[in-house]
A and B are shown apart, each in its own frame.
Chain A
Amino acid sequence: MTRADYFVLAGAVLLLPYLYASYWQRGGAGEEVRIVGADGKEILASLREDREVHVEGPLGTSVIEIHDGKARFVSSPCHGQLCVHAGWLHFGGEFTACLPNHISLAVIGPELRYDTINF
């Protein structure tokens, strides 16, 4: 290998950590959680306070738990249980919803991890 080869190799090896650091950093931890219910009513709750929120939807009551700076659906009367399996939401911009019961849950942080998602 020539000296120029070593320079290129060093550049490549230095570039990689830089790329990971700049593109793999997650948005900051969330501060608040916004719950939107079936009637369009919004509940804004701080993630710092542990609490349980009961939200009524067309199918029944969904239970949302806020604990240790994170929020999740504990239970929902829906068929698929996708909202429950979404697990804990922690970072700004994270989002889940119980579509059958018309309830959505979004973490709001200083920095949004993403603002739209396409499939």
Chain B
Amino acid sequence: MQNDTGLRTLTFTATREDYRIAWLAALAITIHIAESMLPSPLPGIKPGLANIVTIAALHLYGWRAAVWVSLLRVVVGGILIGTFLTPTFLLSFSGALAAVAVIGLGSLLPGRGLGPVGYCLLASMAHIAAQFYVAYRLFIPHEALFGLLPVLMTAGVGFGLASGFLVQAMMAHFNNDANPDTPAA
């Protein structure tokens, strides 16, 4: 396009999907920031409630949407909290990458495949595993770190399970709203 100053103007039009992802990401970022203010008994343990939005996006709009929501949350959340490109951010980012990779693989399963609980558990465990690996390779390359792994993984399984049931309840709610005649699955 050419305007009267002779400069070319680039126009981007946001699609419906763009808006949808932006809304979901905004929701995830809000939860992410709220959660970063919670005290934690051990470094590395937090509920990871923001991932509920990722898994919900996966169920409602597919894997691509889930990847967008997850990565936007980590990057924008990092910028807003002030941890962008710090070790915390790298851990968060690697965890998110591993989680979306694993749910991507999980969504290839044949048949009925995974439900919210399975996805949340897998994502949470992949998150912990990747974070742990990065922490070990980059920040604390000491065998003693492995003493933390069972504790972190226990927390990961617990919180993953909890958020899985939350997503399941959410999905049942959505389905009920969409068709009020059918009972929740």
Contacts and interface: CB of A to CB of B under 8 A. Distances in A.
A4 B120 CA distance: 12
A116 B153 CA distance: 25
Tell me the dominant secondary structure on chain B's binding face.
Answer: helix
Q: How large is the interface on B (under 10, 10 to 19, 20 to 34, 35 or more residues)?
A: 20 to 34
A24 B106 CA distance: 30
Contacts of B160: 12
Contacts, number: 62
B109 interface: yes
Interface in A45-104: none
Nearest to A117: B144
Contacts of B147: 23-24
Nearest to A4: B114
Interface string B101-142: 000001001011111011001100100000000000000001
Interface-centre pick from A23, A114, A118 (highest chain B CB count, 10 A): A23
A16 B115 CA distance: 22
A23 B146 CA distance: 6
Given A4-B109, A9-B161, A114-B144, A24 B150 contact: yes
Interface residues of A, number: 20
A23 B106 CA distance: 28
A101 to B, nearest CB: 28
Contacts of B157: 12-13, 15-16
A9 B118 contact: yes
A116 B145 CA distance: 12
B89 to A, nearest CB: 23
B170 interface: no
B156 to A, nearest CB: 9
B80 interface: no
A2 B112 contact: yes
B36 interface: no
Contacts of A3: 111-112
Contacts of A114: 143-144
Given A5-B121, A23-B150, 11 more contacts: A1-B117, A1-B168, A2-B114, A4-B111, A4-B113, A8-B121, A12-B160, A13-B157, A15-B125, A23-B149, A117-B144
Interface of B: 106, 109, 111-115, 117-118, 121-122, 125, 142-144, 146-147, 149-150, 153-154, 157, 160-161, 168
Which 5 interchain pairs have the tightest Cβ spacing? A5-B118, A19-B150, A8-B118, A20-B150, A2-B115
15 contacts: A1-B168, A3-B112, A4-B109, A4-B111, A4-B112, A9-B121, A13-B157, A15-B153, A19-B149, A23-B150, A24-B147, A24-B150, A114-B143, A114-B144, A116-B142
